[in-house]
């Protein structure tokens, strides 16, 4: 009976290992998979890594707590006619509370400078969160000199790794996908492309 239980345990472990391996491989683009199959393990490749996104609710909470005036101006401008606006889930209750004090105040062009400052403060906080999140996601598998580009406004990075390092990185729960990088993809370092990769609306603010 003991032997049977032990064998069953081994089978369960093997199945789980196979499932994890399958999930890791699924994170690789088809082009990258083909490249890795044909190359020696020691050959390094530049890859575009998309990571788990930051918690936008936490970022907006930090924005509201750290810069309450700028946050209120940002919300009032983003949701003109605030009394009738349907606020998105991202801002949640914080947006509702901030907007309530602006229900009688229409946004005007005279507030451009104030709004610009509010947007800069919001980006500042996003930069902090992404810097910590992105570096954390790749740090254990990639030295600083191999980080070609790490975005400050989106969960994307371009790094240089060999086959074994790429496979190890793909097993991380912080990694969403890994794709082959080519010189034609150099525009990925531009924030507009980072935005299209992640569909992150806040980058356009």
**Interval 141-177: pLDDT, tens:** 788 888 999 998 999 999 999 999 999 999 999 999 9
**Interval 27-41: pLDDT, tens:** 998 899 998 888 888
What's the rounded Cα separation, in Å, for the pair 50 and 157? 7
pLDDT surpassing 80 at residue 52? yes
Beta bridge partners of 178: 28, 49
Angle at 85 between CA 84 and CA 89, to 5 degrees: 145
Strand pairing report for 156-162 and 44-51: antiparallel
What's the rounded Cα separation, in Å, for the pair 48 and 43? 16
pTM greater than 0.85? no
CA distances from 69 to 15, 86, 88, 101, 118 (A): 54, 21, 20, 11, 8
Half-sphere exposure of 91 (CA within 13 A, CB side): 20
């Amino acid at each position: 009976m003991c032997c049977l239980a032990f064998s069953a345990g081994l089978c369960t472990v093997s199945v789980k290992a196979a499932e994890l391996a399958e999930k890791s491989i699924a994170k690789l683009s088809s082009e990258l998979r083909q490249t890795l199959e044909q190359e020696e393990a020691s050959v390094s490749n530049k890859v575009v890594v998309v990571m788990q996104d930051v918690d936008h609710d936490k970022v907006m909470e930090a924005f509201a707590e750290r810069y309450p005036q700028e946050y209120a101006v940002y919300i009032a401008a983003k949701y003109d006619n605030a009394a009738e606006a349907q606020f998105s889930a991202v801002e949640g209750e914080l947006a509702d509370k901030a907007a309530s004090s602006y229900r009688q105040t229409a946004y005007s062009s005279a507030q451009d400078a104030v709004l610009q400052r509010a947007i800069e403060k919001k980006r500042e906080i996003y930069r902090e969160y992404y810097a910590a999140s992105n570096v954390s996601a790749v740090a254990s598998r990639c030295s600083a000199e191999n980080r070609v580009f790490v975005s400050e406004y989106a969960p994307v990075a371009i790094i240089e790794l060999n086959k074994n390092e790429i496979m190890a990185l793909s097993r991380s729960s912080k990694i969403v996908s890994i794709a082959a990088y080519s010189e034609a993809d150099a525009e990925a370092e531009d924030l507009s492309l980072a935005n299209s990769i992640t569909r992150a609306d806040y980058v356009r603010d």
